[in-house]
Amino acid sequence: MFVKVCGVNTEMLTLRRTVCMRTLSCVIPAIHKFQYCKINIENGVTMFELKKTEGKARRGVFTCAHGVVQTPVFMNVGTQGAIKGALSAADLKNIGCQVELSNTYHLHLRPTDKVVRQMGGLHKFMTWNGPILPDSGGFQVFSLAALRRIKEEGVYFSSHIDGHKIFMGPEESMQIQSNLGSDMCMAFDECIENPSPRDYVQKSVDRTYRWLVRCKAENARLNSLPDTVNPHQMLWGINQGGTYPDIRIDHMKRIADLDLPGYAIGGLAVGETAQEMYDIIDAIEPYMPREKTRYLMGVGTPTNIIEGVARGVDFFDCVMPARNARHARLFTWEGAINLKNAKYQLDDSPIDPQCDCPVCRRYSRAYIRHLFVAEEMLAMRLCVMHNLYFYNQLMQRIRDALDAGTFGDFRREYSEKLARRI
- Residues belonging to the active site: 135, 317
- Triad 46, 48, 49: Cα angle to 5°: 140
The rounded distance, in Å, linking the Cα atoms of 142 and 266 is 11
Which letter does DSSP use for residue 172 in this model? Answer: H
β-sheet bridge partners, residue 37: 28
Question: HSE of 12 in the Cβ direction (CA atoms, 13 Å)?
Answer: 23
The rounded distance, in Å, linking the Cα atoms of 200 and 208 is 12
For 12, left (φ over 0), alpha (ψ -120 to 50), or beta? Answer: beta
135 near 173, Cβ under 8 Å?
no
66 near 26, Cβ under 8 Å?
yes
Closest C-alpha to 174, from 119, 124, 237, 123: 237
The string over 82-119, giving b where at least 16 C-beta atoms fall within 10 Å of a residue's C-beta and e elsewhere, is bbbbebebebbbebbbbbbbbbbbbbbbeeebeebbee
Q: Tell me the residue type at 4.
A: K
Helices (runs of H) and strands (runs of E) counted in the chain: 14, 21
The string over 208-236, giving b where at least 16 C-beta atoms fall within 10 Å of a residue's C-beta and e elsewhere, is bbebbebbbebbeebbeeeebbbbbbbbb
β-sheet bridge partners, residue 420: none
Three-state SS annotation for 79-133: CCCCECCCECHHHHHHCCCCCEEEEHHHHHHCCCHHHHHHCCCHHHHCCCCCCEE
Which letter does DSSP use for residue 239 in this model? Answer: E
